[in-house]
Amino acid sequence: MIIAVYLNKKTKEIHHFQKLPADWTQQDAIDKANSYNKTSNDFIADIRIIAKNSLCDYLISALEQKTRYTKETIENALSAIREAEDAINSLEVADK
């Protein structure tokens, strides 16, 4: 697996990474990173090869399998929570 690691130009801290398409060769990745680096003001792309069955391979695979929600799904969930909160707040306490 080939990934591009994006480093902050000033601090050299890793900002994010991107798994590259499986059909890209290492040279394709290097060429695209070099092109990116010529135009980017904030980040430097660095290409890394990830060994199969390594810890990095496992972690990247685990991230890919993580459930992702659409913006609409999240908004619907928040709306349902707000409605439930409104219903609770409108309840009246009965006298004993």
Contact present, 82 and 41 (Cβ < 8 Å) = no
Instruction: Decide if 34 is inside a domain.
Output: yes
Span of 3-17, 29-43, 67-81 with lowest mean pLDDT? 67-81
Residue 19, token pair as written in the block: 């798994």
Residue 37, token pair as written in the block: 């680096």
Which pTM was predicted? 0.63
Contact present, 3 and 48 (Cβ < 8 Å) = yes
Instruction: Decide if 42 is inside a domain.
Output: yes
Instruction: Decide if 25 is inside a domain.
Output: yes
Instruction: Decide if 71 is inside a domain.
Output: yes
Domain that holds residue 72: 2-89
Q: What is the dihedral of CA 36, 42, 43, 44, to 10 degrees?
A: 70
Instruction: Decide if 94 is inside a domain.
Output: no
Number of domains present in the structure of the chain: 1
Residue 15, token pair as written in the block: 């900002």
Instruction: Decide if 58 is inside a domain.
Output: yes
Q: What is the pLDDT of residue 69?
A: 85
Asked whether the predicted pLDDT for residue 89 surpasses 90, the reply is no
